[in-house]
Structure 1
Amino acid sequence: MVVPLEKAEGQGELSLLQKALALGLPVAPTWAVALEAEFFRLNNLEERIQNLFRGVFGVRIDEERLLLAAEEARRAVRESYLLPERAEAFLRTLEGRGPFLLRYAGEGASKRAANPQEALFALKRLYEARFQVEAILERYPKLIPPFVPVLVQEVDPKEALQEDPFLSLDLSRALGREVVVYAAKGQVVRIESPHGG
């Protein structure tokens, strides 16, 4: 469930990063983590969270109950655990590496981590952030977010992530459609497809 970019299954940005890698572009070391669905299932989070939000959304949104339910949902995620063997595999895969940037594939918001142990905590913080009030309202009427792989990328936090016009042009030409590449220290970190697809 924690696999190197080239072995990951996925679409969207994950697929774009794989294509960039296959074309020989310098992609930052990247792993895809697909543990969220299992994490939710094993901790019965979907049912627990649905219950927390019962009565929040009606003809009007009960704002006070929404704030309380969101806080309780974040607490439920925080206090839940990955299977020990998954956590061990995560740490083993990233051992001796870092620092890291963690984010959902296709999204820019990220968490930073200095080492594998911090990266494991950052993974849960990403899961938890899905239940900020703004995030809930953005995906309403869906309460449970879609389970998207989390990308763990070995990126120096001192390096600013910036749009790279040359890498963007190279990859756009190779793919036959426009993409925007964000890089740090000359390595591809994020790829956006401005017109979807």
Structure 2
Amino acid sequence: MLTLTEAARQPAAVVGAETHRLAAHAGRLPAGMVLPAAYEEAFYRENNLPEQLRRLFSGLNPARLDEDLLETLTPRAADLIRTSALSDDAVQIFYRALGNARLTGGNLHLRRPGERETETASAAAPGTAALHALKRLWARDWSFEAVLARLDGHGGVGLDARPVLLFAGEPGRPDSALAAELGVGTALVNSLGLVGLP
């Protein structure tokens, strides 16, 4: 797990170009952290998910795609992600990182760099809620639309793990002036809840 400042020292290919832009303004952003792609990769490996997903989608022929079959398989794939468990060590590392990033005292939201859609976690049980939100975010990669896009673009259902951004608070309304200053667009400012920051 990385702070935005630590993430800025990583290659953009690892943490995302947007993360580098955000790190330049870390002092103006809510508390946050970057979950590297390696965390997601470890989750997939430890649960033997690549093999389970390969077997699940083995009946698909990308050259002659049966969208009805794909529509029945993708919810099952997403369920595999949501119901698979992180190892105890991975959970403890995640909880410690949330504490170090000051993300344990309230609501938070998660999203992939460069994407608009967020998952939120409530303050009631921030660690557990954040883990559930993280798995919901990962499971989105197995929606019908996401898998179909990979089939169309790459000829397969395979997925590359990607980093995840976690920020304190809930998404706010966009602030166009701040978006222009940060050079990130109002959708990003909206997802960060940056309205009214000095």
Category of TM-score, reference length = shorter chain: 0.7 to 0.9
What is the match of residue 19 of structure 1? 24
User: Pick from 62, 67, 75: which aligns with 1:63?
Assistant: 67
5+ residue gaps, structure 2, are none
Aligned pair 1:89/2:87, yes or no? no
CA contact (8 A) 1:28 1:154 kept: yes
Across the two proteins, how many residue pairs are aligned to each other?
175
What is the match of residue 7 of structure 1? 6
What is the match of residue 111 of structure 2? 103
User: Pick from 113, 120, 123: which aligns with 1:112?
Assistant: 120
- CA distance in 1 between partners of 2:41 and 2:178 (Å): 34
How is 1:40-189 mapped onto 2 (pairs within 5 angstroms)?
40-95=44-99, 96-114=104-122, 115-140=126-151, 141-155=155-169, 157=170, 160-162=172-174, 164-172=175-183, 179-181=184-186, 182-183=189-190, 184=193, 185-187=195-197
CA contact (8 A) 1:91 1:120 kept: no
Query: 142-151 vs 115-124, which deviates more?
Result: 142-151
- Over the matched positions of the two proteins, sequence identity in percent amounts to 29
Shift in CA distance, 154/166, structure 1 to aligned 2, threshold 3 Å: same
5+ residue gaps, structure 1, are 173-178, 189-197
Q: Which amino acid aligns with 2:40?
A: E
Shift in CA distance, 57/98, structure 1 to aligned 2, threshold 3 Å: farther
- CA distance in 2 between partners of 1:142 and 1:14 (Å): 28
Q: Which amino acid aligns with 1:13?
A: E
SS state at 2:2 partner = strand
- CA distance in 2 between partners of 1:44 and 1:74 (Å): 14
Q: Structure 2-normalised TM-score?
A: 0.79
- CA distance in 2 between partners of 1:187 and 1:88 (Å): 32
Aligned pair 1:37/2:47, yes or no? no
Deviation at 1:58, TM superposition (A): 4.1
- CA distance in 2 between partners of 1:85 and 1:70 (Å): 29
CA contact (8 A) 2:82 2:136 kept: yes
Deviation at 1:187, TM superposition (A): 4.3
CA contact (8 A) 2:21 2:182 kept: no
- CA distance in 2 between partners of 1:151 and 1:187 (Å): 19
- CA distance in 1 between partners of 2:40 and 2:173 (Å): 26
Where is the strand percentage greater, Structure 1 or Structure 2?
1
Q: Which amino acid aligns with 1:51?
A: R
Q: Which amino acid aligns with 1:150?
A: V
SS state at 2:110 partner = strand
